[in-house]
Amino acid sequence: MRPTIFLHFLVGILVSLSAFCIINAEDPYLYYTWTVTYGLVSPLGIPQKGILINGQFPGPTIEAVTNDNIIVNVINKLDEPFLITWNGIKQRKTTWQDGVLGTNCPIPPNTNWTYKFQAKDQIGTFNYFPSTKLHRAVGGFGGFNIAHRSVIAVPYPIPAGEFTLLVSDWYKNSHKVLQQTLDSGKTLPLPDGLLINGHHKSAIFTGEKGKTYKFRVSNVGIATSINFRIQGHTMTLVEVEGAHTLQEVYESLDVHPGQSVAVLVTLHGSLKDYFIIASSRFTKPILATTGYLRYAGSNTPASGPLPIGPTYHIHWSMKQARTIRLNLTANAARPNPQGSFHYGTIPIVRRLVLANTAAKIGGKLRYAVNKISYVDPATPLKLADWLNIPGVFNLDTIKDTPTPGPAVFGASVVGTTLHDFVEIVFQNTEPTLQSWHLDGNSFYVVGYGSGNWTPDMRRRYNLVDGVSRHTVQVYPTGWSAVLVSLDNKGMWNLRSAIWSRRYLGQQLYVRVWNNEHSLFTENDMPLNALLCGKAKH
Rounded to an integer, what distance in angstroms lies between the CA atom of residue 112 and that of residue 77?
9
pLDDT in tens, 403-421: 999 999 999 999 999 999 9
Question: In this model, does residue 154 exceed pLDDT 90?
Answer: yes
DSSP, collapsed to helix, strand or coil, labels residue 142 as strand
**Dihedral, CA atoms, 341, 344, 346, 352, nearest 10 degrees?**
120
pLDDT in tens, 296-331: 999 999 999 999 999 999 999 999 999 999 999 999
By the 8 A CB rule, do 359 and 367 touch? yes
Strands 413-417 and 507-513 come out as parallel
Question: In this model, does residue 226 exceed pLDDT 80?
Answer: yes
Q: How far apart are the first and last CA of the chain?
A: 68
Average pLDDT, stretch 509-532? 97
Question: In this model, does residue 454 exceed pLDDT 70?
Answer: yes
DSSP, collapsed to helix, strand or coil, labels residue 529 as coil
Rounded to an integer, what distance in angstroms lies between the CA atom of residue 69 and that of residue 31?
9
Question: In this model, does residue 507 exceed pLDDT 60?
Answer: yes
Indicate the average pLDDT of the chain.
95
Q: How confident is the model at residue 89 (pLDDT cuts 50, 70, 90)?
A: very high
Average pLDDT, stretch 361-390? 98
DSSP states of 340-404: GS-GGGSPP-EEEEEEEEEEEETTEEEEEETTEEE---SS-HHHHHHTT-TTS--TTSS-SS--S
DSSP 3-state percent helix, strand, coil across the chain (nearest 5)? 15, 40, 45
Average pLDDT, stretch 128-153? 97
Q: Dihedral sign for Cα 512, 518, 519, 524, please.
A: positive
DSSP, collapsed to helix, strand or coil, labels residue 175 as helix
- Give 398's DSSP letter: S
According to CATH, the topology of domain 153-332 is Immunoglobulin-like (2.60.40)
pTM of the model: 0.94
Q: How many residues are recorded in the chain?
A: 537
By the 8 A CB rule, do 434 and 356 touch? yes
How far does CA 428 lie from the centroid of its chain? 20
Q: Which CATH superfamily is domain 343-523 in?
A: Cupredoxins -  blue copper proteins (2.60.40.420)
- Give 458's DSSP letter: G
DSSP, collapsed to helix, strand or coil, labels residue 464 as coil
Question: In this model, does residue 13 exceed pLDDT 50?
Answer: no
At residue 537, the pLDDT reads 81
Q: How confident is the model at residue 3 (pLDDT cuts 50, 70, 90)?
A: very low
Looking at the chain, the domain(s) classified CATH 2.60.40.420 span: 27-142, 153-332, 343-523
Rounded to an integer, what distance in angstroms lies between the CA atom of residue 498 and that of residue 369?
14
Strands 124-130 and 420-428 come out as unpaired
Average pLDDT, stretch 63-74? 98
Question: In this model, does residue 9 exceed pLDDT 60?
Answer: no
Helix (H) or strand (E) holding 319: helix 314-323
pLDDT in tens, 159-174: 999 999 999 999 999 9
DSSP states of 42-98: -TTSS-EEEEEETTBSSPPPEEEETT-EEEEEEEE-SSS-B-EEEET---TT-GGGS
pLDDT in tens, 327-342: 999 999 999 999 999 9
- Give 455's DSSP letter: G
Distance set, CA 337 to CA 153, 159, 327 (Å): 11, 22, 9
Question: In this model, does residue 4 exceed pLDDT 70?
Answer: no
How far does CA 497 lie from the centroid of its chain? 9
At residue 10, the pLDDT reads 44
At residue 175, the pLDDT reads 98
Q: 18-32, 237-251, 479-493: which range is least confident on average?
A: 18-32
Question: In this model, does residue 272 exceed pLDDT 60?
Answer: yes
At residue 317, the pLDDT reads 98
Q: How confident is the model at residue 250 (pLDDT cuts 50, 70, 90)?
A: very high
CA angle 89, 95, 97 (to 5 degrees): 70
Question: In this model, does residue 48 exceed pLDDT 90?
Answer: yes
Distance set, CA 475 to CA 282, 319, 371, 435 (Å): 10, 12, 20, 9
10 Å CB burial of residue 249 (0-12, 13-18, 19+) is exposed
According to CATH, the topology of domain 27-142 is Immunoglobulin-like (2.60.40)
